[in-house]
Amino acid sequence: MKLKDYGLTAQELKDKTQKYLIELCDRFPFVGETAKGMYVYDTDGRAYLDFYAGIAVDNAGHCNEKVVAAVKEQVEQLMHVFNYVYTIPQSLLAERICTTIGMDKIFYQNSGTEANEAMIKLARRYGVTHYGPKKYEIVTARQSFHGRTLGSVSATGQPGSGIQANFGDLTPGFKYAEFNDLDSFKEAITENTIGIMVEPVQGEGGVHPGTMEFIQGLRKLCDDKGILLLLDEVQTGWCRTGEIMAFMHYGVKPDIVSMAKAMGGGMPIGAICARADVASAFAPGTHGTTFGGNPVSCAAAYAEIGELLDRDLAGNAKVMGPYFMEQLKQVPYVKEIRGLGCLVGVEFEEGIDALAVKHKCCDLGLLITALDSHVIRMVPPLILSKEDCDTAARIIKEAVEALS
Ligand SMILES: Cc1ncc(COP(=O)(O)O)c(C=O)c1O
């Protein structure tokens, strides 16, 4: 859709948005009309260098040609039939994902939170059917983020936050422990625990990478206790951190892993992959979805993942992430720069407001996200170059200087 075809100005469109949408987001002030590669363009044709990629989604670049072609072809061929029918994209994508990341089985969903719901449900069913009716507790991390549906909200370790408060009783069966603190997880495990669920890098919680000792320690702890390691790779998956999946950094394998965001190259899709014996805890009638495994989303994901692998965009993220973090050292008033691959956070000293930095960067032509009052996060498309990193770091520096 083009704005001019509807006889509207950008302001009129924004007014309609404010009037009719339940607005839950701090929007940039422009109307995005097109996007290509590293750039988003507004209705006046102004280019914005994109260092947030629709929050870690457009990993192979905006409107990647192969993804666009795959969607166009599939849309004209078969859009939706439900999972009664075998479809080509669904099956070929399943093989591509399972063989690439070394997991046995996949179940498709439509989003990250839904993938996590499936992961939680599968682990709980596995526990209850194998070990008895009380074996369904899951230990998750404080400051984690697992999504916005009630199960994922309950798994999210942020009691009292806007994410969890004032929704009445949350789903029982979750305990929270300290991220990057193995002893805290050990203490939280009881005879009713069936699994541990963490993000390898806490994204929304402020960009905190799991340490080698912690993630490897969780794997060993799960093995020793005979419980499941559940990794939420919704944000870290599909090359973001410099490996295809972040668990590959740590040399461990989860029993179930969830994914979404980048997997579809901009089309909505999520999934869980599981060990075969764990996956068999789901049987017909125990879980399901109308749109999960939709042929168009699967065709897009098949093309996106092909691009990520063929162009070794994990390799590019592994080089560009550290390079970008090095360039960010020129930014003043920084308390800490942290991240893994191209999932990068900058924590500012008191007095620098992350939201103000985000908006100033936008004025200067760069798109980033603000996580809390002091942390900005950059999750650019993984096709980025050193020049893009230079430009982004320079703009962030200018923005902070202008605000201080
Ligand atoms: C680690 C993690 N899990 C789950 C989600 C929820 O994904 P979605 O917004 O697709 O439901 C997010 C979204 O930011 C995430 O970062």
- What is the whole-number distance in angstroms between the Cα of residue 152 and the centre of ligand 1? 9
User: Residue 308 CB: number of other CB atoms within 10 A?
Assistant: 26
Clarify whether residues 388 and 283 are in a common domain. no
Clarify whether residues 124 and 21 are in a common domain. no
CATH of the domain at 44: 3.90.1150.10
Q: Report the mean per-residue pLDDT for the chain.
A: 98
Residues within 6 Å of ligand 1 by CB: 55, 111-113, 116, 145-147, 199, 203-204, 232, 234-235, 260
Whether 134 and 127 have beta carbons less than 8 Å apart is answered as: no
Of 283, 310, 337, the residue that ends a domain is 310
In a 10 Å sphere around its CB, with 0-12 CB exposed, 13-18 middle and 19+ buried, how is residue 239 labelled? buried
Q: What's 6's DSSP letter?
A: G
User: Residue 280 CB: number of other CB atoms within 10 A?
Assistant: 15
Residues of the chain with pLDDT under 50: none
Ligand 1 atom at shortest distance from the alpha carbon of 261: 10
Amino acid at 118: A
> What is the domain extent for residue 49?
3-60+312-403
Rounded to a whole number, what is the distance in angstroms from the first to the last CA of the chain? 40
Q: ∠ CA(389), CA(395), CA(364), 5° rounding?
A: 125
Whether this prediction's pTM lies above 0.85 is answered by yes
Residue 373 has what pLDDT?
A: 86
Residue 372 has what pLDDT?
A: 84
The closest alpha carbon to 142, from 99, 175, 190, 97, belongs to: 175
Clarify whether residues 21 and 114 are in a common domain. no
Cα 185 to Cα 47, 220, 388, distances in angstroms = 46, 12, 40
Which two tokens mark 107? 């179940």
The predicted-structure confidence for 123-182, as pLDDT tens digits, reads as follows 999 999 999 999 999 999 999 999 999 999 999 999 999 999 999 999 999 999 999 999
The predicted-structure confidence for 301-330, as pLDDT tens digits, reads as follows 999 999 999 999 999 999 999 999 999 999
CATH of the domain at 106: 3.40.640.10
In a 10 Å sphere around its CB, with 0-12 CB exposed, 13-18 middle and 19+ buried, how is residue 19 labelled? exposed
Clarify whether residues 152 and 186 are in a common domain. yes
Clarify whether residues 196 and 139 are in a common domain. yes
For ligand 1, atom 8: residue with the closest CA? 112
DSSP string for residues in 136-174: -EEEEEBT----SSHHHHHHSB-TTSTTTTTSSS--SSE
Q: ∠ CA(109), CA(345), CA(358), 5° rounding?
A: 90
Phi, psi of 122 (to 5 degrees): -65, -45
